[in-house]
Structure formats: structure tokens, C-alpha cells
Amino acid sequence: MCGIFGLINGVLSKDPLSFLAHRGPDDSGSFQNEWLFLGHTRLSILDVSQAGHQPMFYNDDDLVIVFNGEIYNHLDLRKELEVDGYQFASTSDTETILAAWKKWGTESVKLLNGIFAFAIYQKSTNQLYVVRDRFGVKPLYIYQKENQLAFSSEIKSFFSIDSFDTTLEPTNFHYYNNFLYAPGSPTPYKYVYKLLPATVLKIDVESALITEQLQFHSFKKEVTYSKSSLEEIVDELDTRMRTAISRQLLSDVPVGYFLSGGLDSSLIVAMAKSMHPTKNLDCFTIDAGIKKSKEGFTEDLPYAKMVADYLGVNLHIVNPQFNWVRDFDQMIWHLDEPQADLAPINLKEICGLAAEKGIKVLLSGAGGDDLFSGYRRHQALGLEKALNLIPKPLLKIGRSLALKIPSTNPKGRRVHKLTRDWTESKEDRFLNYFLWTSKSDASGNLFSQALKPTVKAIDPFNYHRSLLVNMGNRTLLDKMLLLERYTFLCDHNLNYSDKLSMAVGVEVRVPFLDNELVEFSESIPSLFKLKGTTTKFVLKKVAEKYLPKEVIYRPKTGFGSPIRQLIENDFQDMIQQRLNEKRLTEQGIFNPQEVQILLRDYLSGKREDGYIILSLLAIQSWLDQFKHKQSYETNHTVL
């Protein structure tokens, strides 16, 4: 895994690769002509020799590439290319991409089964092609203003551009407040956006203009559900998962595994062990010190130990000593975006231990929840189906009765939350499951008087609706799972998994997002994914071949931290310093009075909106580091 950077028609005031060194500590290189700069930092995984150095040129030097990622089927593609006379000087997948591009052009990206973000420059035509993988596993940002264009694995490297315009698009913070992340392309900057998954940009280098934008993969509008029996689907899913894991074990350096004790990571480890029974597998987890919290988190560690003992694998446990304010700020620095979740801190600790043990690659269970159903909102769809049968006037009466229950009572708050959407349309009620905030905050009430009218006019679900309209005959559950994949998984989970693992020089791979496995999962009938309230039903049936039932059917826990405990204690000084009236008034983004009401009501127990407070703190940390250039990263100074 690596870091890539490119700039057209610009001047560099700093070395952009210094901002990406953590992504590629093994090697770095650059290419430059009168219009274009391409840079690369390398974490050597396949062909660790200098033959894999980047930027890489193809044999006639017309094509130049900077590539971040892994192509798991590159050996199969290479065999096909060799039959046609293509020759190779290395064993790296980077060279395979170049040869495939030489033969098939932009059509070649449809053949790639892997995780990737890359740019290919064709000297003879002076065209640059920028590409991101089909599920958005690898991040890629675009900076575009007037006749200047840049791309990078991480936003922070744009600070190396002499004329980088850090003008904000403050209304985009509305997305972060609602979802903890920004779905789709927005970032907090006016001139920076995320390249959507499965996209190819064609850029004229002399003018820095995007001349063509191609979508090389999209979900099918109509899906054909399998008519096979449960037993047949279980067997097929078993085979496809083993194939995906086998592909992703391709590496010239040691490979390890996340092992939380949850179903997804445990099943991946179990399958890998069954394929390599004599091999010592190194697995990694965290002892976060959480036994039971008000937020409902329970300790995962006993289950991780149980799985490790059952399978006979090595379990390495990190015991972090958290400095929450420092760790929070450094997390935001690495994320490039104000994502309000503390799970990335845990992930960085686990990856740090793996790096200390000489492990450069970790296989993750990310994606299992999003393909087969694993979240509470998926279980709540049973209620949604029932509500669709009740006349709207009766729902209004139910909501009015619920509001009579005092919100100071925890049960009352839960009833309020359960009934909050009963008077809305079916589509809005469905989409509201993706919110992490109360409806009043979702409407923009926290913003300043100057911004509130604009924010209130923004539909936070505009990206969700653009996807939903093309989902055809899918069931309600499969529509939700597809939205998970294109929003929460891509823009939140995968982003933090990449950024916080690469912060310590470790590559995270996601077997559940193998192209063929994802396509097969879409054909599995919903009733085999969610059976009653049992999530991942079909996956659990597969797991019964490999794991004890007390692991398979254990209650799901979050990979997070006790938010209320932190807000009431560790974050109090940060709240006073960063959410005070003077600072918020000077910024002009949020309404100081509304923020104070939010804090007061939360601390008194009147409402449970810890994540919106965490989001406000994340935004303040991001503003300090990415707008005012006051970096909290101890090893790097922006200024």
C-alpha cells in the first residue's frame, strides 16, 4: 500500500511526499515535466525489490503510473497478457496494470479485482487518467480550482501546493453532523472533493481540464435473486469466501489478521487456518478496558481469546494507554476529515502492534455487516414493514401519546426516538435510520443565523436518494445494505481503516469486498440474510462449519468507546476551550446558544446526543489543523 500525489499547473512550496511518508516508508519517487508532477511513497508488499519502484514506466516509456493498492487477480491477468506477447521486468501488480492499460485502455479497470487508486500519464497524448476502485476502499481526493488540478491519497498533502486555497464550504459540516461522515463527494473544503468509487477521470494535462468522467462499475437496477436452497447457498458462499481469502493472502511480506471475537473477523481467521492448518497465524486485538458501559458496550476480548484458543492461532493483545485529547486530535489529522468516531483510535493501536511485530498486512472483517446485515437498523426494518401497514392518522396519534412521556426518563427518550419518524413519508422514515443525530439537529438548528437558512435548504439525504432511485426491484433490506456499502462503509469505515492503518505503515485488506463475493451476495434472498431478528443468518450457517456457536450467536458489540464517560470527564477541558461562546461566535459557523443548550441537556441526562457533541469537537479539531494549520501530529508540522 502506498501514497500517491499529482499536480498539474502548480508550484510546490513543500515536498508533498513528506506528508505521505507514513503511507510508504520503504521507498519514494517522482516524475516531473513542464506541466505535471507525479509522486509516490511505497510500502513494499508485492515484489519488494527496486523493480517495483514508482513512478513506474512501461517498456516504451509512454505510460507512467503511480499506484496505491493491491490487484489480487493480477497473476491471472498477467498470464493472459503474456500469451499476447507482453513481457514483464518485475513481479509487481503495478506493472500488470500498465500492460493491461496498454492492451485494453480504460476498459482494463473493469478486469481488476482489488483495492486501488492510481493515475496513469500517457506522454504521447498528454492525457492523465485518475482511477478509484469500485467500492472506494482506497481514498482519493481531487483539488480543482481554475486551471490547476491535484490529486492525492490524503488531503493534507495539498498543503505542499503554494497556492492551495483552503476556503471552506461550511454548510458541508451539516453532513458530518448528521452522519459522522460526509456521504459521497463533499469535504469541508470548497475546492476539494472525494472521487467517487468506480470512477475514471480523463484530464488534459496542458489545460488541467477534466475532459471525460467514466463510471466503470455500478450496481444493477434489477437484481435476480437466487432460487437455490439455503444449503446450496451456504455451500456456494463458503466456497466464494475461501476463494476471496486465498486471493488476498497474496503477499511477499508477512500477513496477519484482525481478531475482535466478532463473527466476521473470526470467520476469516477460521477459514484461513483451515486452508493452512500447519501455519502459525498471527492475530491482533485490543484490550480497551471496557467491561460494560452506559452506552451498552461489552468487552470483546474474552471472545477473541476463545476463538484464538479454539483455532490454535497466536493472539497479540495491545493494552493502550490512551491520552484521549491527544489521540482524538491525531486521529482527525490522519483522517483528513472531521469524522466523529473513536473506533479509529483503537484500530491504529492494533495496527501499531502489528507493525512492531513485523506484520505489514492485516486482513479485516469490514464489509460483512454491509453485505449480509449486521446493524440494529437492519433489525428495525421489521418494525418498518409493520408501520407501512398502519394508516398515517393512527401513527400521528401514537406519536402524540409518546411525546407525553417525560424525556428525562431513559425509557421516555427511547420511546421518543422510536416514534420520532412515524409522521413522515415511508422514504424519509427509511432514510432516517442512517442519522446519528436527533431530528432537530439534523434540520440545521445548530448552525449560525447566517448559515441556518442555507443549511435548512440542504437535503442531507441527497446522495442517498440519488442511489435509491436506481435500486429497482430490491427488497427494503437489500436497498439498505446497498446504501450502507456506498455511504457508511465507503465514506466512514473504509476511510478510517485505510488512514489509521497507513498512519503506522500497515495495509488493511477486506476479503468481504472481493468483486465476485459482492456480486454473489447481491443474489442471496433477503430472508437468508435477516431471519426474524437474526442478522447474517446465511453467514452464520457458513460459520457453523468453523466456529463454536457461542461465538457465532453472541450479541453484537460496537468497536468503539464509551462516549458519555469521555464527554463527562476526559473531554471537559476540550469542550470548554473549543465550544465556548467566544470561539464559536468568531467562527460564525455554529450558534453558540444552541450548542450550550445541547451540552446542558446532554450533561443533565435530558437527551442522548453524544455523537453530535463529538462531531462538533471533531470539526473544531479539523478547523485548527486543516484551516488554521495548527497540527497536533507530533511528528509533523504543517507550517
Residues flagged as binding site for L-glutamine: 93
Q: What would the grid cell of residue 158 be?
A: 495539498
Residues forming the annotated binding site for ATP?
Answer: 286, 364-365
Residues 524 and 476: their CA atoms lie apart, in Å, by 14
The separation between the first and the last C-alpha atoms of the chain, rounded to the nearest angstrom, is 27
Cβ(333)–Cβ(632) under 8 Å?
A: yes
Cβ(565)–Cβ(296) under 8 Å?
A: no
Residues 434 and 232: their CA atoms lie apart, in Å, by 33
Residues 423 and 303: their CA atoms lie apart, in Å, by 42
Q: What would the grid cell of residue 520 be?
A: 454473489
**How many other CB atoms sit within 10 Å of the CB of residue 90?**
16
Cβ(615)–Cβ(338) under 8 Å?
A: yes
Give the closest residue to 197 by CA, choosing from 186, 188, 184.
Answer: 184
Q: What would the grid cell of residue 97 be?
A: 496494470
Residues in Cβ contact with 620 at an 8 Å cutoff, skipping those fewer than 6 apart: 578, 579, 583
Residues 617 and 161: their CA atoms lie apart, in Å, by 28
Considering only CA atoms, give the Rg of the chain: 24
Cβ(14)–Cβ(159) under 8 Å?
A: yes
Residues in Cβ contact with 11 at an 8 Å cutoff, skipping those fewer than 6 apart: 161, 162, 163
Cβ(216)–Cβ(110) under 8 Å?
A: yes
Assess whether 2 carries a catalytic annotation.
yes
Q: Are strands 148-152 and 314-318 parallel, antiparallel or unpaired?
A: unpaired
Cβ(129)–Cβ(201) under 8 Å?
A: yes
Question: How is the beta sheet containing 27-32 ordered, strand by strand?
Answer: 27-32, 36-42, 2-8, 148-152, 141-145, 192-194
CA distances to 71, 223, 264, 411 from 535, rounded to whole Å, are: 31, 21, 12, 25
Residues 163 and 166: their CA atoms lie apart, in Å, by 9
Q: Where are the beta strands (DSSP E) in 364-425?
A: none
Give the closest residue to 74 by CA, choosing from 41, 40, 112, 125.
Answer: 112
Residue located via cell numbers 424519509: 428
Give the closest residue to 356 by CA, choosing from 262, 256, 499.
Answer: 256
Give the closest residue to 621 by CA, choosing from 567, 572, 578.
Answer: 578
Query: Considering 2, 283, 351, 490, which one is annotated as catalytic?
Result: 2
Residues catalogued as catalytic: 2
